[in-house]
Each structure stands twice: as C-alpha cells, then as structure tokens.
Homo-oligomer: A and B are copies of this chain.
Amino acid sequence: MTQQYPSQLLERAVQEFAKLPGIGRKTALRLVLHLLRRDTEEVQQFSDAIATMRREIRFCTTCHNISDQDTCPICADQRRDRSTVCVVENIQDVMAVENTQQFHGLYHVLGGLISPMDGIGPGDLEIDSLVQRVKESAISATEEPDSLEASPTKIREVILALSSTMEGDTTNFFIFRKLASYDVKISIIARGIAVGNELEYTDEVTLGRSILNRTPFDGH
C-alpha cells in the first residue's frame, strides 16, 4: 500500500485504529482526526486508560469474570446464592444476565465455546475449573467445618446459559457429561418464542421447542 497521508505519525495511528474490529481505514482516519482536535492531555488520558486497563486488569480466580481484584465483586458478595452457578460464554453474558435482575447466584465464565471449526477445544476453555469448583464444593461440604477458613457452600445447581447455536449445544453436552458423576442439578435456560415476537415469524425449530417445553399456565 502506498503512503497515503502526509504524516507517518498519522499513518501509524490510523493503522492501529484500523486493527480494531469493525473499524476500516476511513473510520480510523475520522477517529484519529477527531483526537487531533482534542487537547493533548485528553488524548493522553484516553491512551493511558487503554494501556493501564490491559496491563492491570485481572480475572476472578473463581469465576474468571473480569475484575480489578483476585476475586470479582460478584464472587465476593456474601448476599448472593452461592449454591447456584450460571455458566456463560463471556463477560458480556455476565452483564446481560445481571441486567435481567433475575439471577442471584454466582457465575462461571468459560471464555468461549467449543468450536472445532475455529480450533477451540474444551482445553482452551474454563471447563476443568468448573468441574473442579463443583468437586471442591462437594468435598468441603461433607467435611467437618473444623478449619478456620470458610468452606465453600455446596454447589447444588449449574445453569447452562450458552447461546443456542451448534457451538453452544456442543459445549452444553460436553459440560453435562463432565458433571454427570457429581451430585449437582444441571439445568439449561429455556428456549422458546422471544417475548414480544409474533408466532408467525418464529422459526419452526424454536416454535417446536417452545411447544415441547410448554409450562403450566395459571392464568397470569
């Protein structure tokens, strides 16, 4: 590619922006020229926020959610139901479930889904650590509570909240088999017609599922 801009500094900044997903060279240039119009300190702040975030951010050692400490605010919150763990693909999904305000347990972030096409196997995901979590909670719950450390509450239910895709289904099935030998209830989020959607425009598979998984109706 020929050098298009009258400045190497500009060229480099545009190139860096254009590496971001969904940002082409035209948008990158627009963003860079916008930053050029801002104060040097403001741009330094922007730049620092990004570098610092990448350098200092950590992941919760328990649930692998993003965190500023070793334990994320959700795992640290003693008011939450520690016997229920919701398995999600990524950090955005934690936020999505949290936003529903319908779940008060803990999470386990897999960091992806099993996808042979993309070369992602179970070993690339936080599946072993999920099994370990279930196992350890079962052991410590049966032991006498003689240690000073607070023993983890026994995990009674694992809710699989993954995307309804082939990759999600594969991952669901893999986790199901891995946890089959443990005394833990495994559930999966309901699939059915989306709230507000018309029956006519719902695909057949979803509609079929929503009929099979119909729930008792009490008039409300």
Q: A: which residues have CB within 8 A of B?
A: 4-10, 12-13, 15-17, 19-23, 27, 29-36, 38, 40, 43-57, 60, 65-68, 72-74, 90-92, 94-95
Contact = CB atoms under 8 A, between A and B. Distances in A.
A66 B36 contact: yes
18 contacts: A6-B60, A6-B65, A6-B66, A6-B67, A6-B68, A7-B57, A7-B66, A7-B67, A10-B53, A10-B66, A23-B31, A33-B92, A35-B54, A36-B66, A43-B50, A43-B55, A47-B47, A47-B48
Contact of A9 (B36, B40, B57, B73): B57
Nearest to A98: B4
Contacts of A74: 6
A32 B15 CA distance: 17
Contact of A50 (B6, B21, B35): B35
A53 B66 contact: no
B52 A44 contact: no
Contact of A34 (B20, B35, B47, B53): B20
Nearest first, the 3 closest Cβ-Cβ pairs linking A and B are A47-B51, A43-B54, A13-B53
Contacts of A6: 60, 65-68, 72-74, 91, 94
Contacts of A35: 20, 50, 53-54
Contacts of A5: 66, 95
B53 A9 contact: yes
A71 to B, nearest CB: 10
Contacts of A66: 5-7, 10, 36
